[in-house]
Amino acid sequence: MSLKQSILLLFMLLLIGLNANAQSVNNNTNARLHGIQYRQPRGLDGSPFLSNDWLETKITLYNEEIAEGVLTKFDCLNNDLVFYHNTLKNLFIIDKSTVDTFTIHKNNQQLNFIKYKGTTVGYKFKMMILFTLHTQEKTIY
């Protein structure tokens, strides 16, 4: 064993020693999404969705859980987020009461949405909210 190898061994052992207590108990649970089954609207000409592709979305829930990589479509007509449930193999509209924010990833772009409470509860594209706040044209509830 050369001197270099010895020094390497020393550092490796040191690292092992320092990290001996670093194994953690995984307390995180997967975020659970709740929603109502999605039904295709009748008599609609065109698509209600922001994008017709299923886009990966990061959803932050009110209980601070985060669901990442969820395939969603944003329904602009009804202001709803539709997601594909992998286990139940079905489409559901996520309960607005459970969502805090979500970010849709589209072609290296991030579309951030936040929830607002007005006369009805819905989602707003974050830039629109910032613009509204800046111009002070409307009151945000």
Partner 1 sequence: MILKHKFLHTNLFILSLFLISAGQLYAQPKLFVQTSKNFYVSGEEVDYKCTLINPDSSELYILHSDICGEEKLITSQLLNASNNVWKGTMALPDTLQTGVYLLRCYIGDQIGKPIIATQLISVLNRFNNNSVNELRKKKTDYFPLDGRGYIKTEVQDLLQITPKQVRIKANNTLELSIRSEIDHIAGDLSLSVYKVDESVQHVNTNNLQPYSENDNIHIYNSLVLSGRLIDINAETPATKQTILLSSPDSLANLNYAYTDSLGEFKFHFNKLSGTQDIIIQTLNQQQEYAIELNPAFLPPPSIIPYYIPDDVENSEFCQLAIMRATVHQAFSKDSIVSSSILNNRYPFYGKTLNRIYPDKFIPLDDFAEISWEILPLVRYKYSKDSTYLRIWDTESNTVFNNPWALVDGIPVFDLASLNVLNSEKINWIEIQTQSRCYGDVAINGLISIQTKVGNFTELEMPKNAIRHKMQTFYQAKQKIEKAGTIFSDVLYWNPSINMANNSTNVSIKTSYEKGTYAAVAQTYDQQGKLYQTVSLIKVE
The closest of 137, 120, 119 to 128, measured between CA atoms, is 137
- Nearest distance in Å: CB 89, partner 1: 10
Work out whether 35 is an interface residue with partner 1 (CB under 8 A).
yes
Angstrom distance (rounded) from CA 94 to CA 103: 14
Residue from 40, 52, 63, 120 in contact with partner 1 (CB under 8 A): 63
86-125 mask for partner 1 (x: CB under 8 A)?
-xx-x-x--x-x----------------------------
Work out whether 18 is an interface residue with partner 1 (CB under 8 A).
yes
Q: Which residue has the tokens 């039904």?
A: 39
